[in-house]
Chain A
Amino acid sequence: MLKVESLCVESGAFQIGPVSFTIQSGECLGLKGASGSGKTTLMEAICGLRQVASGKISINQREISESTPAERNIGLVPQENVLFPHMRVAAQISYGLRLRKWSNRNTKQRVEEVAEALQIEHLLTRLPNKLSGGEAKRVAIARAIAFRPDLLCLDESFTGMDEATRQAVMETIGRAIEQDKITTLLISHQPQDLECLASACFDLDTPSGS
């Protein structure tokens, strides 16, 4: 469960918040708002990539407002393609597992499991420069969910895909979220993405949310 209480984030002269919302375990909350309303900044603050000015963030009753990104156990899939260019797909997916010192056997098993769920088993030995946009996005999602994060943050993760790929990726990520009961925060400009994955929405343009 993610609980955000009176969170304020400052980015230069721009301030977001105070924002409060809760996502129950295994649920997906859609975060919407006009361009420049601070959706990505807020998500980055939750992930620990930006300092918060005030407020509280808790995951599963554990306060993480002052924790480093590594301590938060959050899987982030950013808007842009940020796969590590020198790592093959299998190494990308297993990166979070190796950092958590999973055994080789469990790591291999989990990589195969996630790759199967996202239908990327045939890509495991490829480098990112040999992947299409949709494939790269699936790999980024696989990398973010492989280590079983307490929270998955998807920032416009379906942007730039053709309709067929978008549908396929949405369905696979939906299945993966449901299967592993991953608490998810989703940013999207597309109402159909929010309808498909989110059980509720929070609007940054409305002070109290909706």
Chain B
Amino acid sequence: MFGGWLGASVASYVALILLLILADVCFVFGQMDGKAGVFEILASPELKDSVILTFVSCTVTAILAVLLAVPMGYALSRYRFFGRSLIDAILDIPVILPPLVIGLSLLILFNQFPPLESGASLESSLNWLGIEVTNTKLAVVVAQFTVAAAFAVRAMKLSFDQIDTRTEEVAMSLGASRGRAFFDVVLPRSYKGVLAAGTLAWARALGEFGPILVFAGATRGRTEVLSTSVFLEINTGNIEGAVVISLLMISLAMTTILVVRFVCQKGGEDA
């Protein structure tokens, strides 16, 4: 009885996800002119630009998110300090807020803040330094990073929580400073956590849409990433194109996750 309940819960949800993908595949090959139609969409120059920007922005976001998540996750895992619970709660804001709200908040932060009568803003200050953010490729990364970093920090904290503090203490008793013990003993043991945090940030960035649409816009060939390509195709009534791009996104996400899992498992066997 208990086994049946467990099995049914696993089977039903996995079946739902697979049916979603299967429905997309059936739609593409049922509605379109076979493989030729699919290749025509995949070979379009707009999609090529979108794929490149998606890949580059997701990778940059994942690297930045991991660079932030490693020290922040370690601090939250190991140190007890005033305001720790508040910081932990603040970290959930990007996770629970509607994506459009994040995009809108970024737009206001860069263009209407601080509220000065002179009209000077963070964006205008950056412009003075020759950096443009809003409605540029940089805005895509900023929008993706704002959300993805929260997921990466959570993953890294969990990873550090699972590593016994005793090993660090022994390293310190042998003469290592806390920092040296972290780099010599903790970080090598948490490489799976680093990979998991990076993958999670990459996958999250790939699926990001709301903040990008509001903060970076969806300009063809300029700030278009795969998630906005789907939106643009739907807006122009090209449902088949939208579904083909969706399947491409699913393939990219699945490939990334499988490669990282394979690397993790291989690393585990080697150790």
CB atoms of B175 and A49 under 8 A apart = no
* Cβ contacts under 8 Å, A96 to chain B: 174-175
Query: Is residue A131 contacting chain B, with contact meaning CB distance below 8 A?
Result: no
Known A-B contacts A80-B166, A86-B189; the reply to A95 vs B174 at CB < 8 A is: yes
Query: Is residue B173 contacting chain A, with contact meaning CB distance below 8 A?
Result: yes
Interface of B: prevailing SS: helix
Q: In the assembly, what is the distance between CA of A103 and CA of B51, in Å?
A: 52
- Per the 8 Å Cβ criterion, residues 20-65 of A in contact with B are 44, 47-49
Which one of B164, B167, B170, B188 has the highest number of Cβ atoms from chain A below 10 Å of its Cβ?
B170
Query: Is residue B127 contacting chain A, with contact meaning CB distance below 8 A?
Result: no
* Cβ contacts under 8 Å, A78 to chain B: 166, 169-170
* Cβ contacts under 8 Å, A122 to chain B: none
* Cβ contacts under 8 Å, A194 to chain B: none
Q: Among the listed B171, B173, B177, which residue makes an inter-chain contact with A74, where contact means beta carbons less than 8 Å apart? A: B173
Closest-CB distance, A72 to chain B (whole angstroms): 8
* Cβ contacts under 8 Å, A74 to chain B: 173
- Per the 8 Å Cβ criterion, residues 77-92 of A in contact with B are 78, 80, 82, 84-86
Which one of A68, A80, A84, A100 has the highest number of Cβ atoms from chain B below 10 Å of its Cβ?
A84
Q: How many residues of B contact A (CB 8 A)?
A: 18
CB atoms of A47 and B173 under 8 A apart = yes
- Per the 8 Å Cβ criterion, residues 154-174 of B in contact with A are 164, 166-167, 169-174
- Per the 8 Å Cβ criterion, residues 168-182 of A in contact with B are none
CB atoms of B189 and A147 under 8 A apart = no
Proximity bits, B174-188, A CB within 8 Å = 1, else 0? 111100100011001
Closest-CB distance, A13 to chain B (whole angstroms): 17
Q: Among the listed A69, A86, A99, which residue makes an inter-chain contact with B169, where contact means beta carbons less than 8 Å apart? A: A69
Known A-B contacts A69-B169, A127-B271; the reply to A82 vs B164 at CB < 8 A is: yes
Q: In the assembly, what is the distance between CA of A72 and CA of B189, in Å?
A: 26
Known A-B contacts A99-B180, A147-B175; the reply to A76 vs B188 at CB < 8 A is: no
9 contacts between A and B (CB under 8 A): A48-B172, A49-B173, A76-B170, A84-B185, A84-B188, A86-B189, A95-B176, A99-B175, A99-B176
Known: A69-B173, A75-B174, A99-B176. 17 other contacts (CB 8 A): A48-B172, A68-B177, A70-B172, A70-B175, A70-B176, A73-B175, A76-B169, A76-B173, A82-B164, A84-B167, A84-B171, A84-B185, A85-B189, A86-B189, A95-B176, A95-B184, A147-B174
